[in-house]
């Protein structure tokens, strides 16, 4: 269970970090920083809860070999395990967010490390639960649930556990796996340390004469420069540096691939992908249909690239031309205006939704602005069940920031509604449904912005952003999923992969998806080292759910905006359900089957409709 909560502790919204200036914006006052005192009033309160957790770890040891002694013993131990999990989620949230608000501060790092150790201790202390429940047998467990209605909150958890019987080891085996938990995250830790703290980033001199260090934040900022030569300079310098470390990143990633293959084998799965999908009972057809549908509809993506080249006035399009806005705009959206636009856009979800979100935006749930050593990117953490969700942004007063704001608040409202409707044990939802809430809000935002836009130039800004969102959230994530499926399969079969081999595999996929042979976009071989940069690859078979979610979210949003009978309630019921049902079945029951081509075809149709809209505006100007 520890692994489950950690996997979903932070719902990460962006594949790449947002631009992160070296210094905080002037508006970065206390009002715009999250209030961690809602979690713990001070360090002493945190230490007290840690001590309570450690006491409970000792107490739950008494449940070992006694879980099924009686109905009372079963209930006592299950409730204690749940309280442990809830307490640990709060501790881990406080520790991680303390670290993320200033990654250079030793105090925050020490808190995070303490929480990591506690997490491993928790996993070891409770490793007996799964094998003991399975040893009790389904008949006895079901009988306990029938006799005591208070145990029904565990129905889905136990059903999922009983389903995994053939993949659960005996007690000693589970204890051994839990013990090794402390030693199996090396690859991710090395990647994170090297990429964020120790990479010797290159310097370049821009056309303006400004000398800059091209670290991850600067790359994200300057890759969208309006000067094409500067973009190429930034790309070559940045990816050239990753190329220098291709061998080291290859070793690191290979170690993670081997770990996944080993766990799949130990747990009697045919391969890593099957194990990853089985955790939430996701059919293999969802993954395979996503990739096959994406590959078959790459001409839609290539149409976008040709439209991008035309709008930017380029005779050809290179990978370094991917990030400039299709429309130059000096429009600014301060956070208060961003909040107002977001709140107006979600009115189709009803007064209760809007009222709750309005109140939440005033209560310091969010750390808004970028500053030196703050974690880059954006995420929502809804794991602190008895408190409230927390959001991290790096808001830059542009439209992309407003879109990210809507995305993250979609996650936050999902957690808020699930926590209101569900007991703790079934409130935490998997990524498969998490990204539906965020992408649905983005569709609502675009619809609203097009209605309030004052000019075609403004509409083009929003439409261009929507196109880029589909490229980045759907096609790019499907491409990543394609890469993951290939490299994991190789290692599952006992093959080795080097950094150079990974670059070759990724480069072939990158060129195919971007139409290199067809002339849609030129991909320089140097840029094929991009695989080494993607942090999500260290959370295996994770990113495909961005693509499935935007497909489902688009369908739900369209139905709601059209006023389709029952559509709003079906959607909100998914959010309120949290993790109380299997996610694929939950979404399918609401009318979207992600194992079928239909939702993906809807994404392609939406993308083509947006391009038709843009071309119609352009035609008026000729």
Identify the burial level of 147 via C-beta atoms within 10 angstroms of its C-beta, where 0-12 means exposed, 13-18 middle and 19 or more buried.
exposed
- Helix H or strand E segment including 366: strand 366-367
> Residues near 233 by Cβ (< 8 Å), separated by ≥ 6?
204, 206
Give dist(CA 129, CA 144) in Å, integer: 16
| Domains recognised in the chain with CATH numbers | 2-11+34-187 (1.20.140.70), 248-266+269-330+431-622 (1.10.1370.20)
Would you tell me the crossing angle of helices 246-266 and 499-513 to the nearest 10 degrees? 90
Give dist(CA 337, CA 331) in Å, integer: 12
Q: Give the count of beta carbons closer than 10 Å to the beta carbon of residue 531.
A: 24
Res. 244: pLDDT tops 90:
yes
Please identify which of the residues 123, 174, 175, 408 carries the catalytic annotation. Answer: 408
Per-residue model confidence as pLDDT tens digits over 162-173: 888 787 777 777
Average pLDDT over residues 215-244: 94
Give dist(CA 342, CA 358) in Å, integer: 10
User: For the chain, how big is the Rg over CA atoms in Å?
Assistant: 24
Distances (CA, A) of 286 to 87, 557, 599: 34, 21, 11
What percent of the chain lies above the pLDDT cut of 70? 95
Give dist(CA 542, CA 15) in Å, integer: 11
Give dist(CA 480, CA 239) in Å, integer: 18
Half-sphere exposure of 299 (CA within 13 A, CB side): 3
| Top-ranked range on mean pLDDT: pick from 187-191, 217-221, 330-334, 571-575 | 571-575
Q: Which two tokens stand for residue 392?
A: 């991290």
Average pLDDT over residues 550-555: 92
Strand, helix or coil for residue 61: helix
Give dist(CA 515, CA 541) in Å, integer: 25
pLDDT value of residue 27: 66
Res. 17: pLDDT tops 50:
no
Identify the bridge partners of residue 380 per DSSP, sorted by sequence position: 11, 391
Nearest to 264 by CA among 281, 253, 277, 249: 277
N-terminal to C-terminal alpha carbon distance within the chain: 61
Distances (CA, A) of 80 to 75, 121, 122, 423: 8, 15, 12, 14
Average pLDDT over residues 400-419: 96
Average pLDDT over residues 180-207: 83
Give dist(CA 309, CA 304) in Å, integer: 9
Give dist(CA 394, CA 404) in Å, integer: 9
Average pLDDT over residues 277-292: 96
Average pLDDT over residues 151-155: 95
Per-residue model confidence as pLDDT tens digits over 68-103: 999 999 999 999 999 999 999 999 999 999 999 998
Per-residue model confidence as pLDDT tens digits over 51-67: 999 999 999 999 999 99
Active site residue 246: no
User: Per-residue confidence at 577, pLDDT binned at 50, 70, 90?
Assistant: very high
> Residues near 209 by Cβ (< 8 Å), separated by ≥ 6?
none
Give 311-360 as a 3 state SS string.
HHCCCCCEHHHCCCCCCCCCCCCCHHHHHHHHHHHCHHHCHHHHHHHHHH
pLDDT value of residue 1: 34
Give dist(CA 169, CA 73) in Å, integer: 23
Per-residue model confidence as pLDDT tens digits over 328-383: 888 999 999 999 999 999 999 999 999 999 999 999 999 999 888 888 889 999 99
> What is the pLDDT of the chain when averaged over all its residues?
91
Res. 622: pLDDT tops 80:
no
The model carries a pTM of: 0.85
Higher pLDDT, 542 or 482: 482
Res. 209: pLDDT tops 50:
yes
Give dist(CA 318, CA 521) in Å, integer: 5
């Amino acid at each position: 269970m520890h692994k489950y909560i950690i996997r979903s502790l932070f719902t990460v919204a962006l594949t790449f970090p947002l631009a992160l200036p070296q210094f905080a914006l002037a508006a970065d006052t206390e009002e715009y920083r999250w209030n961690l005192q809602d979690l713990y009033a001070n360090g002493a309160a945190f230490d007290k809860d840690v001590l309570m957790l450690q006491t409970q770890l000792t107490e739950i040891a008494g449940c070992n070999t006694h879980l099924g002694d009686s109905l009372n013993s079963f209930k006592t131990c299950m409730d204690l395990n749940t309280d442990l999990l809830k307490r640990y989620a709060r501790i881990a949230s406080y520790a991680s967010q303390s670290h993320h608000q200033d990654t250079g501060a030793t105090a925050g790092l020490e808190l995070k490390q303490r929480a990591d150790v506690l997490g491993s201790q928790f996993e070891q202390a409770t490793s007996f639960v799964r094998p003991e429940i399975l040893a009790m047998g389904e008949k006895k467990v079901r009988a306990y649930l029938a006799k005591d209605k208070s145990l029904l909150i565990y129905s889905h958890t136990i059903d999922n556990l009983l389903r995994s019987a053939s993949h659960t080891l005996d007690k000693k085996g589970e204890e051994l796996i839990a013990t090794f938990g402390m030693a199996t995250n090396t690859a991710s830790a090395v990647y994170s340390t090297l990429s964020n703290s120790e990479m010797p980033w290159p310097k370049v001199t821009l056309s303006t004469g400004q000398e800059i260090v091209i670290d991850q934040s600067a790359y994200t900022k300057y890759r969208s420069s309006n000067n094409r030569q500067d973009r190429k300079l930034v790309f070559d310098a940045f990816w050239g540096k990753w190329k220098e470390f291709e061998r080291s990143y290859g070793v690191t990633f290979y170690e993670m691939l081997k770990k996944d293959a080993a766990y799949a084998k130990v747990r009697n799965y045919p391969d890593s992908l099957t194990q990853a999908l089985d955790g939430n009972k996701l059919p293999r057809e969802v993954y395979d249909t996503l990739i096959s549908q994406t590959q078959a509809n790459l001409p839609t993506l290539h149409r976008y690239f040709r439209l991008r080249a035309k709008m930017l006035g380029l005779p050809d399009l290179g990978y370094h031309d991917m990030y400039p806005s299709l429309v130059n705009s000096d429009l600014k959206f301060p956070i208060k205006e961003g909040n107002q636009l977001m709140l107006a856009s979600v009115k189709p979800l009803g007064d209760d939704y809007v009222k709750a979100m309005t109140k939440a935006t005033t209560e310091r749930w969010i750390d808004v602005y970028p500053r030196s050593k703050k974690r880059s990117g954006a995420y929502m953490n809804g794991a602190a069940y008895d408190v409230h969700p927390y959001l991290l942004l790096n808001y830059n007063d542009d439209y992309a920031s407003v879109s990210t704001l809507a995305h993250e608040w979609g996650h936050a409202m999902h957690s808020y509604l699930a926590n209101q409707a569900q007991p703790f044990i079934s409130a935490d939802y998997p990524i498969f449904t998490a990204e539906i809430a965020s992408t649905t809000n983005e569709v609502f935002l675009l619809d609203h912005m097009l209605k309030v836009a004052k000019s075609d130039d403004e509409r083009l800004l929003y439409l261009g952003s929507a196109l880029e969102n589909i490229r980045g959230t759907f096609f790019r994530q499907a491409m990543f999923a394609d890469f993951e499926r290939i490299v994991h399969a190789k290692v599952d079969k006992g093959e080795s992969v080097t950094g150079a081999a990974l670059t070759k595999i990724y480069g072939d996929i990158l060129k195919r998806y971007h139409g290199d042979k067809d002339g849609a976009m030129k991909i320089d071989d140097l840029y094929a080292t991009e695989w080494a940069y993607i942090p999500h690859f260290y959370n295996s078979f994770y990113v495909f759910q961005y693509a499935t979610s935007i497909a489902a979210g688009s369908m739900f949003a369209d139905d709601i905006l059209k006023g389709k009978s029952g559509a709003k309630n079906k959607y909100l019921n998914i959010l309120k359900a949290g993790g109380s049902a299997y996610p694929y079945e939950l979404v399918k029951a609401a009318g979207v089957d992600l194992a079928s081509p239909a939702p993906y075809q809807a994404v392609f149709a939406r993308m083509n409709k947006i391009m038709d809209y843009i071309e119609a505006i352009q035609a008026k100007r000729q």
